[in-house]
Structure 1
Amino acid sequence: MQQSLHPMFPRPISPSLTLRQMRTTDLGRVCEIQHQCYSSDFHEPEAAFASKLRQSPSSCWVACDAGDLPMAYLVSLPVSPGHYPALHADDWMPPARPTTLYMHDMAVMPALKGQGVAVQLFTAAHQYTIRSGLSDITLIAVQGSVPYWQRHGFAVVPPEEMDEAMRKKLASFGPDARFMRQVISLSYP
């Protein structure tokens, strides 16, 4: 059984899935997975996913079953302060000099929860962050996921450490959403 390469995620990864770059032909399935995992407030249209994938295809992944059917996905984007995409936006443009990898959306089919699929996706993002020379990974935790991300090395960023644009973006995700960050150690092998 393959092991995770990320030190924060030492448990085994599901051997029945294959990780690959997301393709535009996956977007319908990505929306289906999102609808099963998130409340309707967070359902993004396919055009929003297409825009993000078009702008950063090397930082978006799917975990597929033996028939190449996506069972989980991660849309992450290289960003810098002031260049985070809005929820539902179909016009995001990458910054000239990104500093951070933003994990915009990750979802795993409910039947696969607890099998290490999220670990597999996060490991890909972590490795991308290191290869790209980015300083950290950020995300907006929703639906009570703060403890999960804290267990995996993320810390809540206090509102006073955010600029006004980020506070507004965070507010668009609802009152329980939290902006979180993990600083990347470039000494990781």
Structure 2
Amino acid sequence: MSWRPMRPDDLVETNLIADIVHPAYPEDPAVQADRLSLFPDGCWVAEHQGIIVGYCVAHAGKRQRPPALDSLLGVLPPEVDCLYMHDVALLPTARGTGLGKGIVPLMQDVARRHGFAVIALTSVNDSQDFWRACGFKQIAPDAYLAAKLATYDADAIYMEMAGF
């Protein structure tokens, strides 16, 4: 099992995986296409024997200002200052294989290449312990961030990693 850069022809499969892994957080298929077109360096797929078993969609972003769930960006935000991991999803058969932890150094490399000292994400599905173990820390939200997190649900947590 390994990670490789995402291609436009992967989007059918990655959107199917999103539907399986994130049924409580539905997004239009155009969202992944939007992120891939805007920031291809941050979009990766996990494969096992030629079959896609997961993906990571990340893009340049603004700290503590993540996009709302199921929203198109159209353009990257001005004054970007972090790599925002919009979505990481692995099929149940791919969990526990090291792929989840394996995406972190890849994203650190992407962040460094683009001059970002911070990687951010919104933790859902009770994944905050996993992300803490990877080096992310919870950030207390201001009113704006709290409103964005509410587009996910009451359990969504914004996290950041710095110093990598």
- TM (norm. structure 2) is 0.91
- Counterpart CA distance in 1 for 2:64 and 2:94 is 35
Q: What number of residue pairs does the alignment pair up?
A: 164
**Which residue of 145, 154, 160 corresponds with 1:175?**
154
* Shift in Å, 1:41: 2.6
**Which residue of 55, 67, 83 corresponds with 1:101?**
83
Cα pair distance change 1:80/1:29, threshold 3 Å: same
Other structure's SS at 2:73 match: coil
1:75–1:105 Cα contact (<8 Å) kept: yes
Letter in 1 for 2:56: L
Other structure's SS at 1:134 match: coil
- Counterpart CA distance in 2 for 1:118 and 1:27 is 19
Tell me which protein shows more strand as a share of its residues: 2
- TM (norm. structure 1) is 0.80
* Shift in Å, 1:81: 4.2
2:59–2:85 Cα contact (<8 Å) kept: yes
**Which residue of 96, 107, 118 corresponds with 2:100?**
118
Alignment map for 1:8-157 (pairs within 5 Å)? 17-38=1-22, 40-67=23-50, 69-81=51-63, 84-157=66-139
1:45–1:88 Cα contact (<8 Å) kept: yes
- Supply the RMSD in Å over aligned alpha carbons: 1.7
Q: Structure 1, unaligned stretches of length 5 or more?
A: 1-16
2:63–2:120 Cα contact (<8 Å) kept: no
Bigger Rg, structure 1 or 2: 1
* Shift in Å, 1:82: 7.3
Q: Percent identity?
A: 29
- Counterpart CA distance in 2 for 1:119 and 1:81 is 22
List structure 1 segments (4+ residues) > 4 angstroms apart after TM superposition. Answer: none
2:53–2:91 Cα contact (<8 Å) kept: yes
